């Protein structure tokens, strides 16, 4: 298996089937699999995937009944992945699966980590309200100023990387702050990180897991800020050797 795309889901019944189908079609020239890690979704997302997986070996399901959380779901997917290149993305169709080959092309060209980016020149974020965009821009600007300026979208969540990167870099965090931590540690460990522009689209159906009002963004944002400050003041030796 060449590529594994991990799809962490919670109540994405209406989005997951078109996402898988579009992703597999986009990666038709690769030996690819879609690995759904579902946190026992009450809406039956896991059942939709199970039915699909029964007839398509390129689709696999991990149904978690005793554990919850975005970061731990991604880690479970990485651990179970069969691909030499492993990635993940949001499952609300805000990240176009048609852009997956562009991330793969970046690895083929020599990158260790390819990041779908909303903040390189010529792209835009149409997938969030102005509050969400302001929150994201502020967090990413802080990370850019305080950490490493080689990455602009530290909270991307649209990633494809060589498996060996995750043998050295472990994911830490409760939610989206894991991405800040991972990308900065990868840079400091000497891995080549390349950003690939994409247009973030509005969620197709369902409710955002990030936040739905300003207070929610503030609550989420506190962990992002703490992560940035922790990374800023952690000695380089510890960042690399304990990644």
Q: In whole angstroms, what is the distance from residue 71 CA to residue 166 CA?
A: 13
Q: Which pLDDT belongs to residue 134?
A: 74
Q: What is the mean pLDDT of residues 155-167?
A: 96
CB 188 within 8 A of CB 113: no
CATH assignment of the domain containing 102: 3.90.550.10
Between the alpha carbon of residue 131 and those of residues 178, 212, 215, the distances in Å are 21, 9, 10
Domain containing 33 equals: 3-241
The first and second tokens of residue 38, run together, are 């579902």
**Model confidence band, residue 164 (pLDDT cutoffs 50, 70, 90):** very high
Structure tokens at 48: 């939709």
pLDDT exceeds cutoff 90 at 197: yes
φ and ψ at 196, to 5 degrees?
Answer: -120, 120
Distance of alpha carbon 212 from its chain centroid, rounded?
Answer: 20
Is the whole model's pTM more than 0.85, yes or no?
Answer: yes
What is the tally of structural domains in the chain?
1
38-71, pLDDT tens digit by residue? Answer: 999 999 999 999 999 999 999 999 999 999 999 9
Confidence of residue 146 (pLDDT cuts 50, 70, 90): very high
Q: What percent of the chain has pLDDT over 70?
A: 85
Average pLDDT, the chain: 89
């Amino acid at each position: 298996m060449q590529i594994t795309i991990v799809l962490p889901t919670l109540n994405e019944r209406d989005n997951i089937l078109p996402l898988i189908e579009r992703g597999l079609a986009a990666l038709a020239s690769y030996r690819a699999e879609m690995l759904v890690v579902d946190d026992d979704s009450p809406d039956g997302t896991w059942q939709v995937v199970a039915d699909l997986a029964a007839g398509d070996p390129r689709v696999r399901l991990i149904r978690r009944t005793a554990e919850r959380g975005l970061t731990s779901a991604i880690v479970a997917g990485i651990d179970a992945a069969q691909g030499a290149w492993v990635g993940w993305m949001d499952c609300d169709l805000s990240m176009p699966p048609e852009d997956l080959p562009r991330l793969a092309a970046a690895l083929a060209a020599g990158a260790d980590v390819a990041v779908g980016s909303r903040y390189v020149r010529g792209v835009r974020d149409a997938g969030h309200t102005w509050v969400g965009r302001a929150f994201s821009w502020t967090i990413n600007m802080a990370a850019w100023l305080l950490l490493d300026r080689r990455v602009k979208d530290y909270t991307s969540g649209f990633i494809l990387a060589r498996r060996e990167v995750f043998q050295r870099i472990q994911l830490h965090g409760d939610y989206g702050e894991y991405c800040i931590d991972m990308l900065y540690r990868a840079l400091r460990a000497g891995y080549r990180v390349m950003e690939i522009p994409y247009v973030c689209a509005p969620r197709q159906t369902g409710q955002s897991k990030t936040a739905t009002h300003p207070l929610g963004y503030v609550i989420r944002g506190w962990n992002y800020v703490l992560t940035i400050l922790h990374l800023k003041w952690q000695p380089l030796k510890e960042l690399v050797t304990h990644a």
